[in-house]
Amino acid sequence: MDSEGNYETPQEEALTVQEQRTKYGEEKPKAKDTARLIWASKPKKEPNAKELDFQTAEIVYPNAADAQNKKLSSFTSNTKDVSQQPNRLIWGDNLLVMQALLAQGYEGQIDLIYIDPPFNTGENFNFSNEVKIGFSSFEKELPISERLAYTDTWKRGIDSFLDMLYPRLQLIYKLLSNDGTLWIHLDEHTGHYVRVLLDEIFGYEHFLNEIIWHYPDNFQGNVNRYANNHNVIFVYKKSEGIIKRVEIPLDKPVMRDLRVWDKNLGKIVAKRDEKDQIIYKEYTTKFADDVWQIGQSSVSKVKSKEHLGYPTQKPEEILRRVIESSSKEGNIIADFFCGSGTTAAVAEKLGRRWISADLSKTAIQVTRSRLVKQGAKPFIIENLGNYQRQLIYAKEVNLKQMYDIVLKLYGAAPLEEWKGFGISKDEGRVLVFVCEPDRPMTARKAVELARAARTMDGKGYRHLVILAWDYELDFDDTFNRISKTSRIDMAEVEFKVIPSDVYRYLRSTKVGDTELANKIEFYQKPYLRLSEPQIVTRTGDDVRVKIKIEQYVVKDIPLKDESKRPEIEKLMSKNFAYLIDYWTIDWEYDGETFRSRWQAIRDRKSGEPVPVSADATLRKGQKYTIAIRAVDVFGNDASMTKEIDLR
């Protein structure tokens, strides 16, 4: 025992209570609140800040007509003043995103974090694989990259889920301000496990509420149990956080006596008038309690207004209550599993600042379109610099191994003497090249490779396949222009995109298996062709300029049912615009940052195609580079630039 009568090393003896009494004459003192959730692979090291660069992929100015009146907050600050930074939509692994935010100065700066992590063990993801082309719906084959976070999360059952969530909750705790709160949305599969983790990280005494979201419109048919018609939302405070109860409308007004505090009696009583008659008041609202009865956006009347095709999309009313309960105007709200962007959309409407992130490219595209349609303030779309390389290093794979793995997954045998090159096994003498993971393939580099291919290995190759993570903005146009003027014989080149699926296999021992290679699809990059910019009118110094998409071709269509391909091809030949989900223009592209100043978004409900032409007023006296970006219904994107000289 120590001087205070406590046993110094509780671990030195594993005695029963009876043995303790025999040896010491009393029981060993019990510690307080030591309950912990233990599983075999529980991470032992707490994640820390990481100096990762965010790259601005796009600055979005919704409602281009008044874009000049909308200012984007500065997002470069030597003092790391995050209050001056813009709303941010970030594509990337949220573990890395949060670590990068900590390094940027966001520690203790976020006032409310809401997350809706993947908590279903089945094939129920946060996005739909149904795509509408024209007036017909088709089921697309989702790339494993879209499913990666979910399949990996559940591959070892609840252990994998906890491995994923535990370090992210630790980072969330660091990011929250002292009066910040975490709202985490869960279901019956995971809620009880996560509650114990939250007690460990935040402290049992910092638990604020368990909200029950009851959705009575979830018909489950004849099941051998009570129908599951609710989720839970746990609310924890960092230190000083509180919940301000929100008012909700009553089904019908009620008359109740007006209650006041009587200081003489020391209790609440009914208020009376001068004639001592009880005063009644009509009430049309009440304070919400911890059971929220709100219909699901996918099946209720709300669907026609806000449902975007996400099976697990949450109604905006839930987020309205969350945000109004624990934040005020100007506060920073974050959602690191943003899905369809409900948190950002509601935060925007309520005058809050927001950060949203997701690993799914589909989620980023849907959220961007949603915010543009909503007429949001300008915001930026970012990704992590060297994102692919970071993921590769996280898997403890060096670059040489990465090249070989990608080649094998494509079905090519690596060439030992040529780094990044391989020979396709099924296509005879076809040379295959894998691009670096942290930079886009440029047209000039592709031309150099096509020239070198004709003389490589002594015999040369007539056909070259380039596998790239990304392509430079104006790749197609530049490649065609340079290759036409080339005086050196070039191999025929096919351009394909490396899918993020490969991350799943970076340490797999089955990489060389033919069966595994057949599971990975390397799709050809889509083809985009633009018209030359046309001058429509001149009025003084103002010049009205028009540009048009002349052609958009998806060469590889990812379908689950191949029998549907002829139908889609027929629709494509009828009107290629059916394939375009979203396209945007930067009328004054500076060669570095794409500023989206005009957007056309497909109406997912009507089935009508997007318009394929746009015009804008430019000032004469300078040369303009007009940049176009297009995203198709399958999630592919293509980009191109055109120049017009108004000097």
Q: What is the CATH number of the domain that holds 610?
A: 2.60.40
Q: Residue ranges of the alpha helices (H) in 176-209?
A: 191-202
What's the one-letter identity of residue 642? K
Q: What is the pLDDT of residue 68?
A: 42
What residue has token string 């430079």?
Answer: 472
* Position 43 in a domain: no
Per-residue confidence (pLDDT) for residue 127, from 0 to 100: 53
Q: Among residues 517, 541, 566, which one ends one of the domains?
A: 517
The per-type count for the chain, helices as H runs and strands as E runs, is: 15, 30
User: Is the confidence at residue 7, as pLDDT, over 50?
Assistant: no
For residues 482 and 551, state if they share a domain.
no
Burial of 108 (0-12, 13-18, 19+ CB in 10 A): middle
Domain extent, residue 442, equals 397-517
- Residue reference for tokens 């040529």: 418
Say yes or no to pLDDT of 79 above 60: no
Banded model confidence at residue 331, pLDDT cuts 50, 70, 90: very high
> What does the pLDDT read at residue 515?
57
Using 50, 70 and 90 to split pLDDT, how confident is the model at 52? confident
The answer on 420 and 369 residing in a single domain is no
- Give the whole-number percent of the chain exceeding pLDDT 70: 77
Q: What is the mean pLDDT of residues 294-321?
A: 74
Average pLDDT over residues 423-449: 85
Q: Is residue 62 part of a domain?
A: yes
> Residue 475: its pLDDT value, please?
84
- Residues with Cβ within 8 Å of 401's Cβ and at least 6 positions away in sequence, in order, are 506
Same domain, 223 and 338: yes
**Per mean pLDDT, which range of 171-175, 280-284, 566-570 is the poorest?**
566-570
- pLDDT given at position 261: 87
Which pLDDT band, with edges at 50, 70 and 90, does 368 fall under? Answer: very high
Residue 265: what are its φ and ψ, rounded to 5°?
A: -85, -20
372 & 430 share domain: no
Instruction: Kindly state whether residues 555 and 421 are assigned to the same domain.
Output: no
180 and 313 co-located in one domain: yes
Whether residue 268 is contained in a domain is answered as no
The pTM score is 0.81
Confidence of residue 157 (pLDDT cuts 50, 70, 90): confident
**Confidence grade of residue 537 (pLDDT, cut at 50, 70, 90):** very high
Same domain, residue pair 442 and 575:
no
Please give the pLDDT value at position 188.
Answer: 87
What is the pLDDT confidence band of residue 215, given thresholds at 50, 70 and 90? Answer: confident
Q: Is residue 222 part of a domain?
A: yes
Count of alpha carbons within 13 angstroms of residue 544, beta-carbon side: 6
Do 1 and 7 meet the contact criterion of CB atoms below 8 Å apart?
yes
**What integer pLDDT is reported at residue 238 of this predicted model?**
94
Three-state DSSP at 124 gives: coil
pLDDT at 111 over 90: yes
Write down the pLDDT at residue 559.
65
At residue 478, does pLDDT exceed 80?
A: yes
**Cβ–Cβ under 8 Å, residues 638 and 628:** no
| Predicted local distance difference test score (pLDDT) of residue 263 | 85
For residues 361 and 96, what is the distance between their CA atoms, to the nearest angstrom?
16
Is residue 131 within 8 Å of residue 352, measured between CB atoms? Answer: no
Rounded to the nearest integer, the mean pLDDT of the chain is 82
522 or 213: which leads in pLDDT: 213
Cα(111)–Cα(323) distance, integer angstroms: 10
Q: In terms of domains, do 370 and 433 share one?
A: no
pLDDT value of residue 15: 65
Q: 84 with 189, same domain?
A: yes
The DSSP call for residue 30 is: P
Q: Is a pLDDT exceeding 60 seen at residue 6?
A: no
Residue 45 lies in a domain: no
* Other residues' Cβ atoms within 10 Å of the Cβ of residue 418: 15
Q: Best-predicted range by mean pLDDT among 274-283, 350-359, 392-401, 470-479? A: 350-359
pLDDT band at 26 (very low <50, low <70, confident <90, very high): low
* pLDDT of 56 strictly over 70: yes
Q: Are residues 91 and 206 in the same domain?
A: yes
As beta bridge partners, residue 113 has: 182, 334
Residue 619 lies in a domain: yes
Distance CA 114, CA 176 (A): 11
User: Given 477, 495, 517, which residue is the final one in a domain?
Assistant: 517
Task: Summarize the confidence of residues 119-146 as an average pLDDT.
Answer: 59
Here the tokens at position 51 are 């100096």
Has residue 277 been placed in a domain? no
Token code pair at residue 191:
């809620």
Residue 210 CB: number of other CB atoms within 10 A? 12
Q: Do 292 and 367 sit in the same domain of this protein?
A: yes
Q: How far is CA 647 from the centre of its chain?
A: 42
128 and 214 share one domain: yes
Please provide the size of the chain in residues.
647
pLDDT (mean) for 444-463: 89
Q: Which residue has the tokens 């592709």?
A: 446
For residue 209, what pLDDT is reported? Answer: 96
Question: Looking at 385, 412, 438, which one is the last position of a domain?
Answer: 385
Cα(627)–Cα(231) distance, integer angstroms: 45
Residue 225: partners with Cβ closer than 8 Å, 6 or more residues away = none
User: What's the confidence (pLDDT) of residue 74?
Assistant: 46
Cα separation, 7 vs 12, whole angstroms:
10
Phi-psi region of 467 (alpha: psi -120 to 50; beta: other; left: phi over 0): beta
Alpha carbon distance 586, 641 (integer Å): 9
Residue 80, domain CATH: 3.40.50.150
pLDDT, average across residues 48-73: 71
User: Of 336-350, 362-376, 389-403, which gets the smallest average pLDDT?
Assistant: 389-403
Given a contact cutoff of 8 angstroms between Cβ atoms, the answer to whether 288 and 213 are in contact is no
Number of domains in the chain: 3
Residue 230: count of CB within 10 angstroms of its CB: 17
Domain presence at residue 149: yes
Can you give the pLDDT at residue 236?
97
Task: Over range 583-612, report the average pLDDT.
Answer: 86
